[in-house]
Structure 1
């Protein structure tokens, strides 16, 4: 099944949704992306594409273009997500954590999680405040949700630090959040980590369309899947032949921003500064031509892989688009239309 749009970019919706669920259910906090990169390699191979790995773990798919004279266009999306690392094992056997990525501590309170030990074992747990019960602590409601006041209760027979250590859990172990991913029949998609796995799924929608239709992009195309975006340096290095980059990342919603969860969000400026005027204008023009619901917005507290590439010294033009995502870095939600239309806008740009 594909969805028909006015000018014919019929992105395979079931395929995109299938890929998205695989991505969402594969743990990948920043610094722990080996499993999801293996998944990407396998999925790309099914379409006949090879994923080249960079030394720090990013993946690159290269598709030769029709013109050798044009510069290379990069599309980037990040597979890494928010998560945590074990900071210390407490005397009571519970775990103190340190965040991976920027989120408010109240957004993880009560969340189920998985602790990943370095020898390959996994244990389930729950993130709680250190005063988790209103029946016991008079200030439980007011207790500040900050790193020092949060801990993980492990679902094992643990009564003290020694018991936890016997499980093989140690400082530096990775903690991933249960994504609670759901794709509803009416098109709503709710899950943790739609930032940025929804965009990764959109890029695979682009790859599947190019392969199915037998089309060649106007210029060489590199799809870059980065692994450290949430900590600021995901695509700080990009191949030197790249002259333009479109970062494909979730669109911020709320306050005076105009995008919705059904829109393709086109970012004119974020906290790193304005994006390339000509590229942004072209994306707006193409969204109008393809009759894709979209909005142009300013993201006040945001940086992207394009920001990292520019700060890393890349001599490129850059733009930023993505599906609108509500409650970013919390319990996120988007809509199927926004993900598919992001893929369609990218196809319009590269063709």
Structure 2
């Protein structure tokens, strides 16, 4: 659907950046490589990236006025795993990073990242992986204790694995299996929340290309621990309004689709700010952006973390609709670009 702002956003730029983000491993706590990439892309747009002690990134865009500072967040960290132990038969037991159902990673290819920089491929399997061997393979519960990683190296013992340099505490990332299709569909792991990061960069590219400024100063926060609950728990003290950009959940009695901007009125941490949420709804209507207002009962965001961290802020949550969250996710480029368009309308509004 054509809107006043959406056609001005550079879809090709957003698409290219999204693909690069999705194919760069970044499980929570292992975001060094993706932050280097973000630093390069930020510099190309003429902005600077400040790295906080925790590893979050902050990009400041000066505004026309100094009435207030608006914080906007999206998270670069994703679901993943860590080596919990090495078994005597050379298999690896994993512990999850982030909240996902174990069956969503069964059969998935992965990378094990050693502390000295080596990478090894593997596959996540049930400990009873073959129906030709185990009569209860189909019913075997997919839980942490019953899952393991088969390494694609010649290993038959714990000692063989240790000789590769693999150790307890090494990070594990999932193969994203990214597909960006000509018809606009995007299917990949980790659209939560790299789709939103791409939308934010679409916003910044627009400001750079048009030579314009937001009404008020923006501080864009790219967090690296959202999936484990404390991504933006501490934010700059001059922020008074805070918008988390994160994926919109789809399913059950929720209204959003993969083409919509999802506006969350309430999640598991409670209702978001009435005035901010109402303004976002009004702007979505004004800009004729496909959108839905929803409630997420099993969801928390960077805005939730910021509020729980004691920050005295008003907060809201929006994002592109994403199907099968924390699994094999899918969205549409329309939802990503329209999320950027709604955010742009908000920060330009006088």
Normalising by the smaller structure, the TM-score range is over 0.9
Query: Does the aligned pair in 1 maintain the 2:196–2:319 contact within 8 Å?
Result: yes
- Taking the TM superposition and a 5 Å limit, the aligned residue runs for 1:1-351 are 5-7=3-5, 10-68=8-66, 70-351=67-348
TM-score (norm 1): 0.98
1:194-224 CA distance string (max 9 Å, x none): 0000000000000000000111111110100
- SS at 2:65 equivalent: coil
Query: Does the aligned pair in 2 maintain the 1:31–1:228 contact within 8 Å?
Result: yes
TM-superposed deviation, 1:7:
4.7
Distance 1:242 1:7 in 2: 26
Query: Does the aligned pair in 2 maintain the 1:4–1:10 contact within 8 Å?
Result: no
TM-superposed deviation, 1:83:
0.1
Query: Does the aligned pair in 2 maintain the 1:41–1:51 contact within 8 Å?
Result: yes
- SS at 1:220 equivalent: strand
1:133-187 CA distance string (max 9 Å, x none): 0000000000000000000000000111110000000000000000000100000
- SS at 1:153 equivalent: strand
* Unaligned 5+ runs, structure 1: none
Query: Does the aligned pair in 2 maintain the 1:89–1:171 contact within 8 Å?
Result: yes
TM-superposed deviation, 1:71:
1.2
Deviates more, 1:4-13 or 1:316-325: 4-13
TM-superposed deviation, 1:6:
3.0
Query: Does the aligned pair in 1 maintain the 2:5–2:341 contact within 8 Å?
Result: no
- SS at 2:136 equivalent: coil
Q: After the TM superposition, which segments of 4 or more aligned residues of structure 1 sit over 6 Å from their partners?
A: none
Query: Does the aligned pair in 2 maintain the 1:97–1:147 contact within 8 Å?
Result: yes
Distance 1:184 1:66 in 2: 39
Query: Does the aligned pair in 2 maintain the 1:9–1:347 contact within 8 Å?
Result: no
Distance 1:65 1:9 in 2: 23
Distance 2:35 2:69 in 1: 23
How many residue pairs get aligned? The number is: 348
Distance 1:6 1:304 in 2: 29
Distance 2:56 2:68 in 1: 21
- SS at 2:216 equivalent: coil
Distance 2:8 2:331 in 1: 20
Query: Does the aligned pair in 2 maintain the 1:28–1:36 contact within 8 Å?
Result: yes
Query: Does the aligned pair in 2 maintain the 1:292–1:341 contact within 8 Å?
Result: yes
* Unaligned 5+ runs, structure 2: none
Distance 1:301 1:8 in 2: 31
Query: Does the aligned pair in 1 maintain the 2:107–2:125 contact within 8 Å?
Result: yes
TM-superposed deviation, 1:4:
5.8
1:97-128 CA distance string (max 9 Å, x none): 00000000000000000000000000000000
Using a 3 Å threshold, how does the CA distance of structure 1 residues 108 and 71 change in structure 2: closer, same or farther? Answer: same
- SS at 1:110 equivalent: coil
- SS at 2:106 equivalent: coil
TM-score (norm 2): 0.98
- SS at 1:204 equivalent: helix
Using a 3 Å threshold, how does the CA distance of structure 1 residues 7 and 25 change in structure 2: closer, same or farther? Answer: closer
